[in-house]
Amino acid sequence: MNALLAINWEPQIRGILIIIMAGTVLCGSTFLILGTNLGARLGFLLSLAGLAGWMMMMALMWWSFGIGLKGTEPSWKQVPNESILLDPAAINSAGIVKAPVDVAADAAYTDQAAAIEKSLGENGWHKLAEADASFGQAAASGGVIIESDGTLKAGQYKVVNVFDKGGERYPKIGESIDFLAFKHKPHWIVVEVAPLLPQRAEPGRAPARAEIDVTQPHRYVYMIRDLGNKRVPAALIAFGSSIVFFACVYLLHIRDKRVVTNRAAGLAVPAQG
């Protein structure tokens, strides 16, 4: 009784039993039918070739469309020791821009932000529109880094700009044919975060519109794209299954050639009546 209750209430045990039963029924029944008609060894080769071929085709579909068994999804990762930058000097020292930002050291924080934005544009950084899907993804990742740092909490800041650079695919044939462009250049992004003025909540009234605090510097979250390995598990299954499939097909081909040779030479063993 305890064993039955464990199977009913433990999804791990139940899942393992389901996989074992499904594999036994699917593969075992096929092998049983082929083995009783063709013999154990030939039936095993045929059933294994069929299973490996099916696994290969399924894994190729997973690999092509990024579905099924997946690895790590692409994500934005903070640059070590340079993830949150507070002033133009830090922007320059991090290598985001080649030359120092042209702004006075005692300039207002709004002027510093404008100068940094101009310098980023001059150094090949592209400002993303808020409607761009990459804007939202980068803003969310930058917010996680800002909040984990502890300087600002949720609701105390606003993402005002997102700047993008790199990430081009190669090799390409011209500008339109990129079927073989499997490699990527490093993809960098800078998320500009502005602190907000504290808001006083009043019962029964809608919250006031958030306003940027001009007495605090803007934060710049510096991140790099981690491409992950989303399609690697499917690719490994496809390669492994293809090796097993073609090995079984080759063995079946060799067997057929030997049977033909033996029959031509009169060496085939006649079937017993």
| pLDDT by residue, tens only, the chain of 273 residues | 455 445 555 667 777 888 888 888 888 888 999 999 999 999 999 999 999 999 999 999 999 999 999 999 999 999 988 889 988 999 999 999 998 898 887 899 999 999 999 999 999 999 999 999 999 999 999 999 999 888 788 888 999 999 999 998 888 887 777 777 788 899 999 999 999 988 777 777 777 788 898 999 999 999 999 999 999 999 999 999 999 999 999 999 999 999 888 888 876 665 554
Determine phi and psi for 128, rounding to 5 degrees: -85, 145
- Predicted model pTM: 0.76
3-class DSSP string for 179-245: CCCCEECCEEEEEEEEEECCCCCCCCCCCCCCCECCCCCCEEEEEEEECCCCCHHHHHHHHHHHHHH
Please indicate, yes or no, whether residues 237 and 123 belong to a single structural domain of this protein: no
Please indicate, yes or no, whether residues 15 and 101 belong to a single structural domain of this protein: no
Integer angstrom CA distances of residue 85 from 95, 116, 190, 272? 12, 11, 10, 85
Please indicate, yes or no, whether residues 85 and 219 belong to a single structural domain of this protein: yes
Task: Please tell me the predicted confidence (pLDDT) of residue 26.
Answer: 85
Assess if residue 85 is contained within a domain. yes
Assess if residue 271 is contained within a domain. no
Please indicate, yes or no, whether residues 106 and 165 belong to a single structural domain of this protein: yes
Assess if residue 190 is contained within a domain. yes
Please indicate, yes or no, whether residues 242 and 205 belong to a single structural domain of this protein: no
Assess if residue 144 is contained within a domain. yes
Please indicate, yes or no, whether residues 213 and 98 belong to a single structural domain of this protein: yes
Please indicate, yes or no, whether residues 63 and 80 belong to a single structural domain of this protein: no
Of all helices (H) and strands (E), which one includes residue 28?
none
Task: Please tell me the predicted confidence (pLDDT) of residue 179.
Answer: 73
Please indicate, yes or no, whether residues 115 and 239 belong to a single structural domain of this protein: no
Cα gap 160→258, rounded to integer Å: 74
H helices, E strands: number in the chain: 8, 8
Assess if residue 114 is contained within a domain. yes
Please indicate, yes or no, whether residues 217 and 83 belong to a single structural domain of this protein: yes
Please indicate, yes or no, whether residues 108 and 241 belong to a single structural domain of this protein: no
Please indicate, yes or no, whether residues 35 and 87 belong to a single structural domain of this protein: no
Assess if residue 272 is contained within a domain. no
- The tokens for 122 are 């001059």
Place of tokens 């045929």: 46
Cα gap 226→212, rounded to integer Å: 31
Task: Please tell me the predicted confidence (pLDDT) of residue 123.
Answer: 93
Q: Using the 8-state DSSP alphabet, how is residue 177 labeled?
A: B
Assess if residue 270 is contained within a domain. no
Query: DSSP of 88-123, one letter per residue?
Result: HHHHHHTTSSSS---S-TT--HHHHHHHHHHHHHHT
Q: How many domains does the chain have?
A: 2
Please indicate, yes or no, whether residues 216 and 151 belong to a single structural domain of this protein: yes
Range of the domain at 144: 75-226
Assess if residue 269 is contained within a domain. no
Q: Are 124 and 165 in contact (CB under 8 A)?
A: yes
Integer angstrom CA distances of residue 108 from 38, 103, 104, 186, 191? 86, 10, 9, 33, 20
